[in-house]
A and B are shown apart, each in its own frame.
Chain A
Amino acid sequence: MKIIKYFLAVLLVGSVSVHAQEQEQKERQQGHTNNNKFKQLYDEFATPNMFRTGSGAPGPAYYQQQADYKMDIEIDDENARLYGSEVITYTNNSPDELKYLWVQLDQNMRARDSKTPLINSSGIGPATTPSRAAKSYLSKGFDGGFHIEHVKDTKGNDLPHMINRTMMRVELPNALKTGDKFSFAIKWWYNINDHVKDGGRSGYEYFPENDNRIYVMAQFYPRMAVYNDVEGWQNSQFWGRDEFALPFGNFDVSITVPADHILDGTGYLTNREEVFTKEMMKRYNKAKKTYDRPVEIVTQAEAELIEKSKSKKKKTWKLSAQMVRDFGFATSRKFIWDMMAVKIGEKDVMAVSLYSKEGNPLWGEWSTRTVAATLKSYSRMTFDYPYHKAISVHAPMGMEYPMICYNFGRPDENGNYTDRVKFGMISVIIHEVGHNWFPMIVNSDERQWTWMDEGLNTFVQYVAEQDFAEWNPSALSEGMTKYPSRRGPAANIVRYMGGDQDYIAPIMTKGLNTYQFGNNAYGKPGTALNILRETVMGRELFDYAFSEYANRWKFKHPTPEDFFRTMEDASAMDLDWFWRGWFYTTDYTDIGIKEVKKYAVTTNPTEEGKQLAERYNIDPQELVYFVEEGQEGFEEAMANEGNMADLPTVKEFVMDNFSPEEQQELNTPKYFYQITYEKPGGLVMPIIVEYTYADGTKKRETFPAQIWRLNDKEARRAVASEKEIVSIQVDPDLETADVDTSNNSWPREVTENEFEKFKSQLKN
């Protein structure tokens, strides 16, 4: 009955909801709030204001603070210790009066009294190894953390200050009013950590051969915390995982290291003539004009010679950077140094690499070329790279700072490397150089929202990887047709999203509190954006909006809402449902085909059709009838009646109501199907369907996600077709991250589990 009614309605009205509630309710249901998946995000989003508008753009009262640094740094290579003094000039652009300033002391996370080890659970098993026992229960551990020698004003008076773990509050002599500047000086030292042994986002790697170190330095100075309209002072401590929130400013940094070191870092090298030999200057000038390959400033032969001895002398390198949020540098006597020029817009940018012989031949071949390709791809997707250089440094980690990043990928002792090592290295370089855009320039708050830089960056990384292979086909191994990206394609996130819900957190969770950090903050948001671009919005709309976001917020501090709102504002697509599902929940995609019914059309009244006609007092001869396959009269109708347009009653109607032009363009459907889609998954996503016809041809149709707006569980569609449909496939290209594809086809394919698939492959 339900079905006939449905089709009658289709005929008479044209569309119908599948919401028929025919069963009588035994108990009166309770009410509920709006739990529609398409409900706008007013409850989740901050209210727009004069600082941040509803469009996602900075508002008329938007402000940001500025912190400028003048620093003198010296590295004591013998003791692996860093000594520093700095003058910070802080400008209060906020409308608020500030009584104190907060300075970040990130190194304190490695201090012996750090609370970081105390927030992890530990237990005792029946047995352990001596080395583990010693490390856990005997050793005091690495003696890290800042030793603050003084905090003074510019006249040399001590400033009262209080250290709360990784943050230091500095009391101001007078409250800082809007537009005021305040300068103060800090002197400090600390023991540099071995980042290979003890971990960390900076530190040194030790090489027993010739007793040498490669220093890749960051968080080496007390840094201003961010004060802004959404957080006030950033008050979330550095526990070690969540990265950084930093204001923009200008840096003038003098770094003194052993005279035989090669050093590069954030900013312009302002005393190049002093620290370069004549030969290096000559090579450097050549590199500035070489666009097709890296030019070595220090060769491997030279580096190998230098690392064999140690200079007692010192040398000071001076770097000056404008509009950066942080500062990093790398120094070692082991460094080979190469660079090449890249045209970005009208400007030349230098792509630079620093690596030791341990990185070759891989690094000489691919590092600088990868930097160059990355600068082009990201510039295309966002805005032209505004700095003058980007450096990739060889170190067993993957970490980013303005203009400089530290990347892994090392061949074995004989210089051999596999594809895994090579593409791992190229991918990490693309990723870390890409961080120049997110978060170094589009300066989101990493401490609160890891995904805002990592997720967006992972997405653009995927685009850049595909570009890289297109521009450097020789980088691919035999048999490869495209870059082997591990993150980006929808299918690659299925295992995570379909996994144990007890260990999955929504993307909109502070990084420290997430399970499976990499999937949560990198893989899922990166993939979500890729799906948004390829499947939901289309490249044209997405790319415009994404670039609009980057341009609106370059050299500013965006929040998640600024991103979500801009994507909608610039595309005229209400994407609240997408943000809600993908970013605010742990729901997953699972859309399938529940049932397919096949019908023939006839003028011969069916029993049910007759009853219906009687009920509504219609002459049975005036209706057309659908007979389901398997019911009496189906075969007959298929054989005799032909297509719908040939039925006398329909013909008559058409002649009376359609213009001759319209009559020319009539469809002539003969096969009718009612397809019921089911959605066991919580995410609403478009239904992408592929019909395969008896003659082997195929047709695709996409129903927007809004098809689920009134029924989150099932959707029904009538299909009228001239050709017989033999099979139907949902999400044929696996672009929605559907976690269970066993219900994606009709007729239902018998799916083997992974184990049996492997076994049957073996047999073949």
Chain B
Amino acid sequence: MNPLKRTKRLIHSLVFLVAMPAVLSVTQHEYYVSVTTVEFAKEHEAVQIISQIFIDDFEKLIRKRFDSEIVLAVENESEKVSDYMNRYLQTKLLFEINGQKQDFIFLGKRYDEDIVYCYLEIENIKEVKSMNITNNILYDLYEEQENIVRTKINSKNKSFILTQARNKAVLNFN
């Protein structure tokens, strides 16, 4: 059997047993998962975010939402792709730090095998007492999408599996 083309690698270190439907199928499009890591880099006074999304999924989304001609991860990729990704993530990924809504900067993206890595940064954060992360990535494409959020803040690691019904990770460090 071919092991779930889609699941196998995204889920580097996270559960997805929980996310696994009853029948483990061999089809490619059984599971929809993204992984977002959020790290507070105190020495840079910044929150560093990397969102990993299947290229196939992001491509499908951009075609559906913005431009049906877009092809991702090709040599002559449209320059608009980064704008689309930024526009999309700005509306779907929301951060509230110490009770304040915080915007991020979309630094850029990188492709590796079938995953696109999006690099986002929130600047000027001196300390993190609390953080709420709302993740609505790809629910508009797949209702069964699951978004894994891994945080590394104040030397504490935490993991969340977010779904459409439960789309928020809440962290307190007091």
Contacts and interface: CB of A to CB of B under 8 A. Distances in A.
Interface of A: 109-110, 116-117, 120-121, 125-129, 131-132, 195-196, 198-201, 240-241, 243, 396-400, 407-408, 416, 418, 420, 424, 428, 431-432, 454, 478, 484, 486, 495-496, 498-500, 502-504, 515-519, 521-523, 753-756, 758-759, 762
A398 B7 CA distance: 14
Among B2, B21, B28, B41, the one with the most A-chain Cβ atoms within 10 Å of its Cβ is B2
B3 A418 contact: no
A120 B22 contact: yes
A199 B9 contact: no
Contact of A128 (B17, B21, B75, B164): B164
Contacts of A478: 75
Interface in B49-86: 50, 55-56, 71, 73-75
Among A128, A407, A484, A517, the one with the most B-chain Cβ atoms within 10 Å of its Cβ is A517
Given A199-B26, A396-B29, A486-B113, 15 more contacts: A120-B20, A126-B166, A127-B165, A129-B164, A196-B27, A200-B25, A201-B25, A396-B27, A398-B5, A502-B15, A516-B16, A517-B7, A518-B3, A518-B4, A755-B119
Nearest to A398: B2
A499 B13 CA distance: 4
B18 interface: yes
Given A128-B164, A418-B71, A424-B5, A753 B48 contact: yes
Contacts of B163: 125
Contacts of B29: 396
A321 B30 CA distance: 34
Nearest to A416: B71
Given A125-B165, A420-B73, A498-B13, A240 B5 contact: no
A500 B164 contact: no
A428 B2 contact: yes
B143 interface: yes
Contact of B73 (A200, A418, A428): A418
Nearest to B18: A121
B8 interface: yes
B13 to A, nearest CB: 2
Contacts of A200: 23, 25-26
A762 B108 contact: yes
Contact of B48 (A243, A522, A755): A755
Contacts of B17: 503, 515
Contacts of A110: 23
Contacts of B1: 201, 243, 398-400, 454
Contacts of B18: 121
Contacts of A753: 39, 41, 48
Contacts of A195: 25, 27
A396 B28 contact: yes
A422 B27 CA distance: 17
Among B22, B29, B121, the one with the most A-chain Cβ atoms within 10 Å of its Cβ is B22
B30 to A, nearest CB: 6
A39 B57 CA distance: 48
B127 interface: no
Contact of B107 (A128, A486, A522, A759): A759
A399 B26 contact: yes
Contacts of A515: 15-17
A117 B21 CA distance: 8
A522 B108 contact: no
A260 B26 CA distance: 29
A80 B3 CA distance: 27
A101 to B, nearest CB: 27
A495 B27 contact: no
B150 to A, nearest CB: 9
B27 A199 contact: yes
A395 to B, nearest CB: 9
Contacts of A432: 2
Contacts of A517: 3-4, 7-8, 24
B101 interface: no
Contact of A758 (B16, B22, B71, B108): B108
Nearest to A494: B12
B2 A397 contact: yes
A518 B23 contact: no
A758 B110 contact: yes
B141 interface: no
A326 B12 CA distance: 34
Given A418-B73, A516-B11, A755 B23 contact: no
Contacts of A516: 8, 11, 16
Contacts of A241: 24
B107 A762 contact: yes
A110 B11 CA distance: 27
Contacts of A408: 2, 5, 27-28
Contacts of B119: 755, 758-759
A120 B12 CA distance: 21
A501 to B, nearest CB: 9
B28 A109 contact: no
Contacts of B107: 758-759, 762
Contacts of B3: 454, 517-518, 521-522
Nearest to A121: B18
A279 B16 CA distance: 52
B45 interface: no
A523 B25 contact: no
A397 B50 CA distance: 30
Interface in B100-135: 107-108, 110, 113-114, 117, 119, 121
10 contacts: A399-B26, A400-B1, A418-B74, A424-B114, A428-B2, A454-B3, A496-B12, A504-B13, A515-B16, A755-B121
B123 to A, nearest CB: 12
Contacts of A486: 9, 113
Contacts of B143: 129, 131-132
B169 to A, nearest CB: 14
A195 B41 CA distance: 46
A265 to B, nearest CB: 18
B96 interface: no
